[in-house]
A and B are shown apart, each in its own frame.
Chain A
């Protein structure tokens, strides 16, 4: 794919109602020397009381999740001089082995591409309104999660 200069075309944010997969870029800017990809997958786990994990089920506050992800991608473009940022996140069910989140960045050099990718996944986990329910063989539990530290005066 061509990568135009407008920021609107340098960011791809999507919430999908199925597990996510890697999306190859067909063409890169000539000065882009690094593409860094992170895929977060559901692990096999066993709960001491509820048995084996059947799947993770994600729900989100879609409007705010998309807006927050766009803001993060814009920060990555500015701070790490990325040429392109893609974040896809699953909503609904993700069984063990399947991926719930894709973070993909294209940068000039590998160092900043690793940093940008890590910034995006770490900040996503702390700020984007998405919730994960662990569906076990016998029952379900909500993942503990991270309080969003937005409202400093209210905490």
Chain B
């Protein structure tokens, strides 16, 4: 049993990966931490920024122990620079 999640990318992450969205398939009962580990293995750009990223699940900031469900949208939030 697997779940499929959409990954939203922003700013220099979009530039580095070449697209604003990814889709990943993950085992059932996966946490956000597991999903990020998978993305880090697949994309060097995400690995390089891993320690500076915050995360959101379904439009709310989320901690890495958040359990994911099929259809969830995960946003990778690089350092912000508004204002």
Check A60–B59 contact: CB distance below 8 A: no
Check A151–B64 contact: CB distance below 8 A: yes
- In angstroms, how far is the closest chain A Cβ from the Cβ of B82? 3
Query: How far apart are the CA atoms of A131 and B52 in the complex, in Å?
Result: 14
Render A97-115 as a binary contact track against B, CB cut-off 8 A, 1 for contact. Answer: 0001100000000000000
Check B61–A150 contact: CB distance below 8 A: yes
Check B56–A128 contact: CB distance below 8 A: no
Given contacts A61-B75, A151-B64, A153-B63, contact A131 B83 (CB under 8 A): no
Within residues 29 to 69 of chain B, which ones have a CB less than 8 A from any CB in chain A?
32-33, 36, 51-56, 59-65
- Which chain A residue lies CB-closest to B59? A63
Q: Which residues of A contact B11 (CB under 8 A)?
A: 59, 131, 133, 142
Check A124–B63 contact: CB distance below 8 A: no
Check A129–B77 contact: CB distance below 8 A: yes
Check B80–A130 contact: CB distance below 8 A: yes
Check B78–A145 contact: CB distance below 8 A: yes
Check B83–A148 contact: CB distance below 8 A: no
Within residues 16 to 37 of chain B, which ones have a CB less than 8 A from any CB in chain A?
32-33, 36
30 residue pairs from A and B, CB less than 8 Å apart? A59-B11, A61-B75, A61-B77, A64-B59, A64-B61, A64-B77, A67-B59, A68-B61, A89-B82, A100-B82, A101-B82, A124-B82, A125-B82, A125-B83, A130-B80, A130-B81, A131-B80, A132-B81, A132-B82, A133-B11, A143-B81, A144-B79, A145-B81, A146-B79, A148-B79, A151-B61, A153-B63, A154-B32, A154-B33, A154-B64
Q: A64-B59, A150-B55 are in contact. List 4 more A-B contacts (CB 8 A).
A: A64-B60, A67-B60, A142-B81, A148-B79
Lowest 7 CB-CB distances: which A-B pairs, in order?
Answer: A130-B82, A145-B79, A148-B54, A145-B81, A154-B64, A131-B11, A143-B81
Report A's interface with B, CB cutoff 8 A.
40, 58-61, 63-65, 67-68, 89, 100-101, 121, 124-133, 142-155
Report B's interface with A, CB cutoff 8 A.
8, 10-12, 15, 32-33, 36, 51-56, 59-65, 75, 77-83
